[in-house]
Structure 1
């Protein structure tokens, strides 16, 4: 399933991806404003992922603190503040990472909202399918242990809402999925 979803993303034209990125930025900003998030953990999109670069700049321009991941040697994630595209540097696996001071792996626990990459979300349950690398599984475990866990949302293309998404025991639900055309929210388990 992951291969099929990645291939569908790659088949999108640059114009389709740019149009989707603009609409997704608007959806994400509306969501951020609606929940009153002051600190947002996000990521720099790469390749055919739903675009986040305009969103990062818009959040920063509004005064929202934006945290970006820094991939560690063991594939865990450290975090650093986003201080503009000019302060991003190429890193391992083709990623772009902030060059500023590292804040530690637990810095994500201070975010109000964590925007997660993913490949699909079940539109009924909120179950998220990640890329399978495990980096965000560690982040999610940290957030589970936090006193006031952040809201979790995944940024996707509209076609990546997949009913009856197969799940493994470690796969997690999110609080929301944001696409260019829709925002779906899911109640947290009691």
Structure 2
């Protein structure tokens, strides 16, 4: 998923090593543990004031052993929220479309599910009152480690300052010293099964 590969300097090598370590740990998680984490994270986010008062929430469809988002997305819709989901573009930027339940998703390659509805444009993320993003780790100051494609760093650059931007992780993926580069965008919070930490 890389259009501009990360430089393989000290920072790039450190990111690669940390990604490898975290992805290996994720692959070892049982389906039961992944499901339990998904339910706990959904409960935490739905109770958070930033999400409760949001009219529009930008989310994503989890893949593999990421903390699951399926139930969370459905619960957000049931709560009356407008939920927008990303559509990966050929240049690795993210377009957006409205989520209307599981039947509004279709396979899109690379193991991703994407919404079928009309595209809203890359700037649609700026309309969200709360933005939920995937990641592999987060530092004590909110620096997020993604998978290296840069899609979410580009998208987060369009989010107005002060918007609740939250990465969904397992508890042992928080507090890592994440190497940073000029294009990296920090988040304002992390949600784990144990709760929400704001930066």
User: TM-score, structure 2 length as denominator?
Assistant: 0.87
Alpha-carbon distance in 2 for matches of 1:84, 1:157: 25
1:24 alignment partner, SS class:
helix
CA offset at residue 34 of structure 1?
A: 5.8
1:142 alignment partner, SS class:
coil
Alpha-carbon distance in 2 for matches of 1:40, 1:153: 11
**Equivalent residue number for residue 169 of structure 1:** 182
Q: How many residues align?
A: 182
The structure 1 segments of at least 4 consecutive aligned residues displaced by more than 4 Å after TM superposition are 32-35
CA offset at residue 76 of structure 1?
A: 0.8
Asked if residue 70 in structure 1 is aligned to residue 83 in structure 2, the reply is no
Alpha-carbon distance in 1 for matches of 2:187, 2:169: 12
1:93 alignment partner, SS class:
coil
**Equivalent residue number for residue 144 of structure 2:** 128
* Residue number among 59, 62, 69 corresponding to 1:52 in the alignment: 69
CA offset at residue 149 of structure 1?
A: 5.4
Matches within 5 A, 1:85-164: 85-122=102-139, 124-143=140-159, 146=160, 150-164=163-177
CA offset at residue 35 of structure 1?
A: 5.7
**Equivalent residue number for residue 40 of structure 2:** 23
Q: Is the 8 A contact 2:130 2:163 kept in 1?
A: yes
Could you list the runs of 5+ residues in structure 1 that have no partner in the other structure?
Answer: none
User: TM-score, structure 1 length as denominator?
Assistant: 0.91
Alpha-carbon distance in 2 for matches of 1:35, 1:121: 24
2:47 alignment partner, SS class:
helix
Could you list the runs of 5+ residues in structure 2 that have no partner in the other structure?
Answer: 1-17
